[in-house]
Amino acid sequence: MTVLTCICGCGGDDWSQPHRPAAVGTLGPGFVDPANPPAPEATITPRPGSWDGVHPAKGYRVVLLTSGTDTPTQTLIRAVDAWARQEHVSLKTLTASKPGEYIPRIVEAMNLQPDLIISAGNGLVDPLTIVSANHLDREFLVLGAELAEPTENVTAAIWNGATFRGEGLDARTAYDPSSFTLERAARAVRAGVAAVLHGVTGIVIRLD
């Protein structure tokens, strides 16, 4: 069963109408070197706060894909919800409660034609690897995890303790659920979205 929730007035938003996402503000010094942009699949460690000047234009359309009731996932969800309210983002949330729903929910999210699809929950990592490579016209941001081989349309925001890379690739000794604080999750959302808005995609953003 699909669980779809909306905030920021999504009931009054007509997502069927043409829409062009836009960034308000620019990346600060230390996020990336404009003369030497990161290569695909590179990991960058931007200067703290170098993303603070970037905001999505009001009405930016985001689908949040979630899976899992664990504390790390719920922390990520709270961070995205708070960011969406603060930035006047039009946010729709799709929840997959079991593995058989993962790929259908990803497809459902893409069919909504959002500006960005944000993923929260380790269970979605492997399905995203399968789907995202075949849909390069859709932008994805993975929070607190990363794809083993991301394509140009998948960006990840991680930190020490957020090390999941898919089944069979997870460094269990380095994964630390207690590292998923609301403050870290909030920084991951803002840094990740800032990168996507400025076309710095297909990379991993390490925040500490």
* 13 has a pLDDT exceeding 80: no
Query: Mean pLDDT over residues 185-208, rounded?
Result: 96
Could you tell me the two tokens for 139?
């932008």
Rounded to a whole number, what is the distance in angstroms from the first to the last CA of the chain? Answer: 37
Query: Mean pLDDT over residues 172-190, rounded?
Result: 90
User: Would you place residue 5 in the very low, low, confident or very high pLDDT band (cuts 50, 70, 90)?
Assistant: low
User: Would you place residue 1 in the very low, low, confident or very high pLDDT band (cuts 50, 70, 90)?
Assistant: very low
* 69 has a pLDDT exceeding 70: yes
Stronger pLDDT, 11 or 19, i.e. the higher one: 19
Q: What is the CB-side half-sphere exposure of residue 132 using CA atoms within 13 A?
A: 28
pLDDT of residue 6: 61
pLDDT of residue 11: 45
* CA nearest to 185, candidates 134, 150, 155, 143: 143
pLDDT of residue 34: 85
* 68 has a pLDDT exceeding 90: yes
115 by DSSP, 3-state: which? coil
pTM: 0.92
* CA nearest to 23, candidates 198, 200, 156: 198
**Residue-wise pLDDT tens digits, 103-155:** 999 999 999 999 999 999 999 999 999 999 999 999 999 999 999 888 999 99
Query: Mean pLDDT over residues 165-180, rounded?
Result: 74
Q: Which domains does the chain have, with CATH numbers?
A: 3-7+39-206 (3.40.50.2300)
For the ranges 26-30, 155-159, 160-164, the lowest mean pLDDT is seen at: 160-164
Q: How far is CA 114 from CA 42, 105, 150, 182, in A?
A: 25, 14, 20, 25
Q: Which residues contact 17 (CB under 8 A, 6 or more apart)?
A: none
pLDDT of residue 8: 55
125-133: long-range pairs with CB below 8 Å, 24+: 125/164, 125/165, 125/166, 126/166, 126/167, 127/102, 127/103, 128/154, 129/166, 130/103, 131/103, 131/106, 131/107
Query: Mean pLDDT over residues 60-84, rounded?
Result: 97
Listed in order, strand segments (DSSP E) in 96-148 are 116-120, 140-143
Stronger pLDDT, 22 or 71, i.e. the higher one: 71
Check: CB of residue 151 under 8 Å from CB of residue 132.
yes
